[in-house]
Amino acid sequence: MTRRSGPGPRPSAGRPEGSTTDQRLLDSRGDSGWVHTDPWRVLKIQAEFVEGFNDLAEVGPAISVFGSARIPATHPAYDIGVRVGGALAKAGFAVITGGGPGAMEAANKGAIEAGGESVGLGIELPWEAKLNDYITFGLNFRYFFVRKMMFVKYSQGYVVLPGGLGTLDELFEAMTLAQTLKITQFPIVLMGVEHWQGLLDWMQGSMLEDARIKQSDLDMLTLTDDVDEAVALMVAARDVHG
């Protein structure tokens, strides 16, 4: 894991083109040399957890904002991301994103322009070279599962902007952890009625109708286009839980 404060390029990991650390860990056909054996990798994974816990321990109350890296600055969702980041910062929250472009950049930009703490938790990907330019503190992770743990552990709520597979992964992991009592439930806001309504309709008409989920599972989610409503939910949860 690498860390930085402020913008700058991600240091090279010295990996083969198109390869990632996660891929090498999970590929049973990979290099069998002793440096690449699973027991040795456990030590590197442990070090990444320790560094993440240590570096994020001083972050105050924080909200994670998720969304697509592919949203251009001209997209309406980018503007919403900036507004969300700014409103959260003004409410006293640090804003944590995946540190990438698009919706993540928008939320970081809003936070830093409002004078707040803007955190980016990057991940080693073949097609992303650096964290965005609106970060006051950034960490780069090699392992997806370590990074996802940091989002959950150091956030008091999630705001989810329009996104793709990665955004859905982060959304449903949080819901699953709350459903199974692995985490204390926190507010999850889906920003963008037009984008998210179809998913909720399907979950209600298929999953809930067939009793594969409960109404309480759907009740974890708040769907809105109103930035003030989203932030008010986070503030209310903070006031209740401290």
Q: Give me the mean pLDDT over the 32-53 stretch.
A: 80
Identify the bridge partners of residue 222 per DSSP, sorted by sequence position. 189
- Confirm whether 91 is domain-assigned: yes
Q: Using alpha carbons, select from 4, 119, 15, 130 the residue that is nearest to residue 59.
A: 119
Asked if residues 41 and 66 have their Cβ atoms less than 8 Å apart, the reply is: no
- Number of domains forming the structure of the chain: 1
Q: Is the pLDDT of residue 6 over 60?
A: no
- Does residue 184 have a pLDDT over 80? yes
Q: How far apart are CA 118 and CA 107, in angstroms?
A: 8
Q: What is the CATH number of the domain that holds 223?
A: 3.40.50.450
C-alpha–C-alpha distance, residues 71 and 7, integer Å: 20
Q: Is 159 helix (H, G, I), strand (E, B) or coil?
A: strand
User: Residue 236 sits in which domain range?
Assistant: 2-6+19-241
Q: Which of 15-24, 37-46, 166-175, 214-223 has the lowest mean pLDDT?
A: 15-24
Tokens read off for 152: 């959950």
More confident residue, 200 or 5: 200
Q: Tell me, yes or no, whether 12 lies in a domain.
A: no
Residue 14 in domain: no
d(CA 43, CA 25): 13
Tell me how far CA of residue 42 lies from CA of 25, 187, 207, 222, in angstroms: 10, 33, 37, 38
Answer whether residue 189 is part of any domain.
yes
Percent of the chain exceeding pLDDT 70 equals: 83
Check: CB of residue 104 under 8 Å from CB of residue 125.
no
Let me know if residue 187 belongs to a domain. yes
End-to-end CA distance of the chain: 31
Q: Is the pLDDT of residue 113 over 60?
A: yes
Please give the DSSP secondary-structure letter assigned to residue 205: I
Instruction: State residue 16's pLDDT score.
Output: 47
Q: Which residue has the higher pLDDT, 115 or 142?
A: 115
pLDDT of residue 242: 59
Is the pLDDT at 10 greater than 80, yes or no?
A: no
Band of residue 15 on the pLDDT scale cut at 50, 70, 90: very low
d(CA 154, CA 209) in angstroms, rounded, equals 34
pTM of the model: 0.85
User: Does 11 reside within a domain?
Assistant: no
